[in-house]
Amino acid sequence: ELKVEQNPLFLSMQEGKNYTIYCNYSTTSDRLYWYRQDPGKSLESLFVLLSNGAVKQEGRLMASLDTKARLSTLHITAAVHDLSATYFCAVGVQGGSEKLVFGKGTKLTVNP
Amino acid sequence: DSGVTQTPKHLITATGQRVTLRCSPRSGDLSVYWYQQSLDQGLQFLIQYYNGEERAKGNILERFSAQQFPDLHSELNLSSLELGDSALYFCASSVFGTGLYNEQFFGPGTRLTVL
């Protein structure tokens, strides 16, 4: 059974600092997604990573995927308050459907 | 706005009751997925439909059922409700049933409160 582990679960950082969120998964998969969720809101797609070594960047966020290590990272550069949200990684289960297994999420708070 | 719509936005009901949540996928999407988000269980996959047929089942209770209609909208029926069923229920849709390029887009969710 596919398990997805995210850490840290809570992250409080100061504006201008850098940090990385880690997402480990337990079985082979060829697709990994990062989502952002603001309180009480829906899931907003940030990145879709489909191959080993994939790296995608959008603004101050950069995501990467290492399928051999079963690890994805979400790196935050020079954080700003607007990045405060909960970030989820989700891994696609191979074979027959597109069921997503989510990590528990990382609640990020960026303090001025 | 993802293009996926869900109604109602909020639902408050009592234990033992039955409710129906509705989802309309993005135009052109054939797959609909239902997820439950609660504080203790996190985000969990419930069930997937593709073009009217059940495609995959997750941790969906027997008291819950779903269907996808010919116009591709989907309904999630929750019966004999318990306090623990209080959660945010998301619907997502995608073009295909499976495949690499099959990103899911999430609706705004329905918040269910069981009193």
- Rounded distance, CA A58 to CA A48, Å? 12
- Rounded distance, CA A93 to CA A85, Å? 26
Give chain B's end-to-end CA distance (angstroms, integer): 31
Q: What does the pLDDT look like over B1-47, one tens digit per residue?
A: 889 999 999 999 999 999 999 999 999 999 999 999 998 889 999 99
Q: What is the pLDDT of residue B17?
A: 98
Q: What is the pLDDT of residue B59?
A: 84
Instruction: State what percent of residues in chain B have pLDDT above 90.
Output: 85
- Residues A3 and A89 sit within 8 Å (Cβ to Cβ): no
Q: Do B42 and A102 count as a contact with CB atoms less than 8 A apart?
A: yes
B59 CB burial (10 A radius; 0-12, 13-18, 19+): exposed
Q: What is the pLDDT of residue A96?
A: 59
Q: Report the largest interatomic distance among the alpha carbons of chain B, rounded to a whole angstrom.
A: 41
Q: What does the pLDDT look like over A75-86, one tens digit per residue?
A: 999 999 999 999
Q: Counting one residue from A and one from B, how many pairs have CB atoms under 8 Å apart?
A: 62
User: At A103, is the pLDDT very low, low, confident or very high (cuts 50, 70, 90)?
Assistant: very high
- Residues A76 and A19 sit within 8 Å (Cβ to Cβ): yes
Between residues A2 and B115, the one the model is more confident about? B115
Q: What does the pLDDT look like over A40-68, one tens digit per residue?
A: 899 999 999 988 888 999 999 999 999 99
Q: What is the pLDDT of residue B102?
A: 79
Instruction: State what percent of residues in chain A have pLDDT above 70.
Output: 96
Q: Do B102 and A98 count as a contact with CB atoms less than 8 A apart?
A: yes
Q: Helix count (H) and strand count (E) of chain B?
A: 0, 11
Q: What is the pLDDT of residue B8?
A: 97
Strand, helix or coil for residue B84: helix
Q: Do A98 and B111 count as a contact with CB atoms less than 8 A apart?
A: no
| B48 contact residues in A (CB cutoff 8 A) | 97-99
Measured in angstroms, the CA of B94 and the nearest CA of chain A are apart by: 9
Residue B61 DSSP symbol: -
Q: What does the pLDDT look like over B50-59, one tens digit per residue?
A: 999 999 999 8
Nearest to B104 among A41, A100, A104 (CB): A100
Q: What is the pLDDT of residue A1?
A: 84
Measured in angstroms, the CA of B88 and the nearest CA of chain A are apart by: 9
**Residue A107 pLDDT exceeds 80:** yes
Measured in angstroms, the CA of B55 and the nearest CA of chain A are apart by: 7
Q: What is the pLDDT of residue B71?
A: 96
Question: What separation in angstroms does the CA of B28 have from each of A6, B31, B32, B33, B94?
Answer: 33, 9, 11, 15, 9
User: At A95, is the pLDDT very low, low, confident or very high (cuts 50, 70, 90)?
Assistant: low
**Residue A17 pLDDT exceeds 80:** yes
Q: Do A96 and B109 count as a contact with CB atoms less than 8 A apart?
A: no
